[in-house]
Structures are given as C-alpha cells and as structure tokens.
Amino acid sequence: MSQPSAKAGWLKGLRPDPYIVAILLMVVLTSLFPVSGQGAVWFGWLTKAAIALLFFLHGARLPREQVVAGLVHWRLHLTVLAFTFVLFPVLGLGLIQLPAWLLPAPLAAGVLYLCLLPSTVQSSIAFTSQARGNVAAAVVAASASNLIGVILTPLLVGLFLHTTTGGISLKAVQDVAVQILLPFALGQLARPVVAGWVTRNARLVSYTDRGSILLVVYGAFSAAVVGGLWKQVSALELTVLLAICVILLAGVLTATLLAARALKFSKEDEIVVVFCGSKKGLATGVPMASILFPAASVGFIVLPVMLFHQLQLMACAVIAQRYGARAD
C-alpha cells in the first residue's frame, strides 16, 4: 500500500499550485485589459492600500513568543540567513553576467532581485512539518528571514541594481517605511487584540492576503504591458529564464543539503536548512518590487520570482514526501 501512496504524493507535488494558476490568469487578464491613464492612478492607490493590509496581516500573524523561544538555535538560523542573503546574491551576481542576447538586462535585473529576496514563511513551515522536521525552528528561521528582508532587501537592491534600474531613492525608502514597516509594526502592536480573530478566521485572512497579491500583480503587469512587455520578451528568453530558475533552485537545494550535513545538524534541523534556505518569497517580493522599481519595469522584475516560486513548490513537495517517508 505504501508504494501507490508515495506515487500519489509525488504526483500531487507536481501539480501546479492553484494560487500560481490564479496569478498566471491575472497576467493573461492584464495582457488583454491593462489599466491605464486615470484608472491606473486610482488602481495605484488601491494597490498601496492592499500592500499595507498585506504587511499588517503579516505582523498580526507572527507570534513573538515563538521567535523569542527559537532564537537560541542561532547556528541554524545563521546558516539559513547565510544562504538567503549571501549565497543567493552571489549566485545572482554571477547569473547576470550572461550575455544580453541570452538574458536581456530587464530580466537579468529580475533574476538578481529574486536572489535578494527573503525566504517564504507559510510554505517553508508547511513543508518542514510534512517532512517531520523541526517546525519551531522553521517558524523562527522563516520569520527572521522576512523581518530582516524587509530592511535588507531594499538596501541590497540599492547596492546591486543601481546601474540597471535606477536604484533605491529617498522616496523608495519612505515608501518602504510607510507601506511595509509601519503596517507590519502596527500589526505586531495589534496582535494582543486581533490575534484571536486572525486565528479564528485564518481562511478569510488567507484569502485577503492572496487577494492583495493578485491586485499588486494586476497593477504591476498593467504598467509593463502598456510599456510593451510582451513585445520585448520572446519565447526563447522565457525558456532561458525558466532554465536559469531550474539550475538556480537545483544548485541551492544541493548546497543546503551538503552544508547541513557538513555542519552535522540533526535530520530535523537539516530539513529546516533545506526548506528555509532554498526558498524565495513571492508574497514579499511582488509588493516590494512595486515600491522599489519604476512601474514599467515591475513586470520584468517579478517574472523570474513567479517562475521560481512555482518551481520551488513543486520540487519541495517531492522532497518533503521523501523526508516524511523515512524511518524513525
């Protein structure tokens, strides 16, 4: 009975994520009906409100007690952060050296931006749990990555992408503070009041969370489509971009596994390093891109993030099945 069950798990892991399908449908809809003119201005304000709501919910959902309790496992967390904010950026800087005929500058900026993002939270924890890993440590590692990334990612964007995207201006810093840091802090402050409601209405909060991302994607791709996105990106370039994401993910997954074993982490902690250290967050990356980059370039920037996100979900679902089926 175990073999058919394992096979079913593999097949389930290879299914496209419904959320990614919804995002792709939003891209198609945007390509047919982009918002422009005064409509784009109003939609921009709606998007800013959605981003603020998104990060307020992130702040409200993050339990401070779990973060404090898990901070003692500093060696594990430093390892995850090293992969997220050191190895990934180094690999990204190497990938953007590819010739422009293979990887045009706008997509190269998107690949590097992908490498500068923090890890995911929900999927990292979910896969760690499925693989029978150290869930408490995964909560802390993924949460710490996002907390640090809210500040560090914009700084890294300004440091490494100033030559291709105009860098990070004072206005961008203000936007990050007002649209991300302030709502997140308010969410943390409101936790004693709203935490119970958030827990009881987890599904509604999840829909609100994901709906905010869909709005941001629609606005981002509207500006890109009006600016000629699909006239500038060919099928060959999309294929090359997909191959780059596959190679990047495979390389980091291998590196996290080898490093965890070289550092003699337990199997449960190894799982945390593999799942938290190899991921990049779509929920953080898309809204942040709409703040840090000019509207016309955001579509190019988030395209690699969307591809990588789907690939990491598929690959990690299969890996989690393998870990979860191990003998105790």
What number of other Cβ atoms are within 10 A of residue 82's Cβ?
Answer: 14
Residue 77, classified by CB atoms within 10 Å of its CB into exposed (0-12), middle (13-18) or buried (19+), is buried
- pLDDT score of 170: 55
The first and second tokens of residue 202, run together, are 């987890």
Beta-strand ranges (E) seen in 208-323 are: none
Query: d(Cα 99, Cα 105) in Å, to the nearest integer?
Result: 9
To the nearest 10°, the Cα dihedral for 59, 60, 66, 70?
-10
DSSP string for residues in 207-228:
HHHHHHHHHHHHHHHHHHHHTT
Beta-strand ranges (E) seen in the chain are: none
Query: d(Cα 80, Cα 147) in Å, to the nearest integer?
Result: 13
Query: d(Cα 89, Cα 306) in Å, to the nearest integer?
Result: 18
Fold type of domain 2-323: Na+/H+ antiporter like fold (1.20.1530)
Residue 123, classified by CB atoms within 10 Å of its CB into exposed (0-12), middle (13-18) or buried (19+), is buried
pLDDT in tens, the chain (328 residues): 445 555 555 555 556 667 667 777 887 888 788 887 788 788 878 877 877 787 787 778 767 665 565 556 788 989 999 999 999 999 999 999 999 888 998 899 999 999 999 998 777 887 888 888 888 788 788 878 887 888 889 889 888 886 444 444 555 556 666 776 788 788 888 888 888 888 788 777 777 767 776 777 787 677 667 767 677 788 888 899 999 999 999 999 999 999 999 999 999 999 999 999 999 988 788 888 888 888 778 888 988 998 898 788 888 888 988 898 887 6
> CA of 223: how far to CAs of 37, 80, 97, 136, 178, in Å?
10, 35, 27, 41, 22
> CA of 174: how far to CAs of 103, 134, 178, 182, 223, in Å?
32, 37, 6, 10, 22
DSSP string for residues in 25-52:
HHHHHHHHS---HHHHHHHHHHHHHHHH
- pLDDT score of 78: 92
What number of other Cβ atoms are within 10 A of residue 159's Cβ?
Answer: 12
- pLDDT score of 2: 47
